[in-house]
Amino acid sequence: MLAVVMVLQQASVRLILPAETMPVVIGFEGSANKIGVGIIRDGEVLSNPRRTYITPPGQGFLPGETAKHHRGVILTVLQEALDEAGLKAADIDCVAYTKGPGMGAPLVTVAIVARTVAQLWGKPLLGVNHCIGHIEMGRLITNAQNPTVLYVSGGNTQVIAYSERRYRIFGETIDIAVGNCLDRLARVIKISNDPSPGYNIEQMAKKGNKYIELPYTVKGMDVSFSGILSYIEDAAHKLLSTGQCTPEDLCFSLQETLFAMLVEITERAMAHCGSQEVLIVGGVGCNLRLQEMMGVMCKERGARLFATDERFCIDNGVMIAQAGWEMFRSGHVTELSDSWITQRYRTDEVEVTWRD
Amino acid sequence: MPLSIRSLTKHVNMAACKTENGSERKLEFFLKVPFPSEREATIALQSLSPDPEPRKGGITKNLDLSGQTLSVRWTADEARILRVSVSSFLDHLSLVMETMDAFGPPVSQ
């Protein structure tokens, strides 16, 4: 008995294929401290389990330890992904994994498993750009048509817009990522990394009420955060020890400054592109204050704001599967000999053959 | 029959020696890993060979396949660098084997 699936999209009826013929893609993600395996079939998330390597307060995560964490759980998470989706290995049509960018050791650990299962199951392999994974998942979940994308995480800060077969970087950080800046403040004031330092900063910021003036370092289309970080690390020690402000005030002030900068460069890119949509992706995109501030700017411009929740903002396997699916259906495959991971991988290096 | 790093190390041949190469002393390390089938040895080779060594200088690593045996040959200038690379490779190798145990055997081609 064939199961026919119909998807209604904006009043037009989209295809009509028996469920069995739609490709099922599994995606592996582990470029930072999250290890996730996700399965998707024609835009439907079948499973998306994930584990996070959480370090004690005051400590960041190092590549070797992170890789060891991922190595310890990846096969369990893979089995979970299959079980939650109710699928067997034979049901998978292709295997996607993060080729880069990210931390070397964790990327290798995950790639090794992806290569091995692809060969065991006799399925094609797809090396995915992590940033494009975020973008494609954001597009799928929100149905934004052609947004200006703000990609903000612990490892990346970019403003991206699609044009002629490339996700072009209109603006970016010239030093550290915005999430990195937040994470490092969290280390200085020793707040918990569970569930993530950024989440805890967000909660504390809600209780802050003193605005401490920080450097504001937008550089044209780009941003810089390392100066703000040095400044606030220094200020934290001085102001906290003399009781001139609370840690909550620091969290509040940092968020307001960083997010205002991000809103500014997003708006600048929108003006260049004549764009009426903003899509925020990446772990920092979960932050409701950032969404709120971006929303104010969008409203002023008559633009729409799109964001996803923590299932898809934060690194996860299914975003890699989704990008992998787009690549696969437009004819990409990654040969095993080309499946090496890379710590640096620019978003605009990939030819986006699946869009016009 | 499940593979495990412990059962394989009974059969693995390792050899390390110092050779003089002109005025340099190079350390060499050989590893031979037998697999139950040529297919599985090939899978291991193709999973373990694509990534470059993290450290560009001071070490070379070559993987080769001969029937059911994966062989690996390192040359390094310093013992410390050699140890790190070999240790890392053995971790990755055991990950491949655990993956094969859990999600194999390979489908027929």
- Residue A115 contacts B, CB cutoff 8 Å: yes
> Which member of A71, A120, A339 has the closest CB to residue B106?
A120
Residues in B touching A336 (Cβ below 8 Å):
46-47, 50
> For A109-136, what is the mean pLDDT?
98
- Inter-helix orientation angle A226-241/A247-273, to 10°: 160
The answer to whether residue B44 sits within a structural domain is yes
| CATH number for B83 | 3.30.310.50
Domain with B36, as residue range(s), is: 6-103
Domain count, chain B: 1
Name residues 23-62 of chain B within 8 A of A (Cβ): 42-44, 46-52, 54
Q: Which residues contact B1 (CB under 8 A, 6 or more apart)?
A: B36
Alpha-helix runs per DSSP H in B10-109: 38-48, 79-103
The answer to whether residue B40 sits within a structural domain is yes
> What is d(CA A96, CA A111) in angstroms, rounded to the nearest whole number?
9
The answer to whether residue B31 sits within a structural domain is yes
**Per-residue model confidence (pLDDT) at position A5:** 39
Q: What is the pLDDT of residues A224-278, one digit of tens each?
A: 999 999 999 999 999 999 999 999 999 999 999 999 999 999 999 999 999 999 9
pLDDT band (50, 70, 90) for residue B57? confident
Tokens of A76: 């369990």
The answer to whether residue B109 sits within a structural domain is no
> What is d(CA A194, CA B43) in angstroms, rounded to the nearest whole number?
38
- Residue A139 contacts B, CB cutoff 8 Å: no
**pLDDT over threshold 70, residue A191:** yes
Tokens of A241: 């020890």
> What is d(CA A231, CA A228) in angstroms, rounded to the nearest whole number?
5
Q: A130 with A151: CB under 8 angstroms?
A: no
Tokens of A210: 């003193």
Chain A, chain B: beta-carbon pairs less than 8 Å apart:
69
Identify which has the larger pLDDT, A15 or A148: A148
- Residue A342 contacts B, CB cutoff 8 Å: no
Q: Tokens 């001071």 belong to which residue? A: B58
> For A153-163, what is the mean pLDDT?
98
> Which member of B42, B50, B102 has the closest CB to residue A340?
B50
CA dist B47 → A76, A110, A169, A347 (Å): 19, 11, 32, 25
> Which member of B46, B52, B107 has the closest CB to residue A115?
B46
User: pTM score, two decimals?
Assistant: 0.91
Identify which has the larger pLDDT, B55 or B33: B33
Tokens of A291: 């969404």
The answer to whether residue B22 sits within a structural domain is yes
Indicate yes or no: CB of B92 within 8 angstroms of CB of A109: yes
The answer to whether residue B108 sits within a structural domain is no
The answer to whether residue B1 sits within a structural domain is no
**pLDDT over threshold 80, residue B109:** no
Q: Tell me the shortest Cα–Cα distance from B100 to chain A, in angstroms.
A: 7
- Residue A89 contacts B, CB cutoff 8 Å: yes
Q: What is the pLDDT of residues B69-85, one digit of tens each?
A: 999 999 999 999 999 99
The answer to whether residue B83 sits within a structural domain is yes
Q: What is the pLDDT of residues A22-64, one digit of tens each?
A: 899 999 999 999 999 999 999 999 999 999 999 999 999 999 9
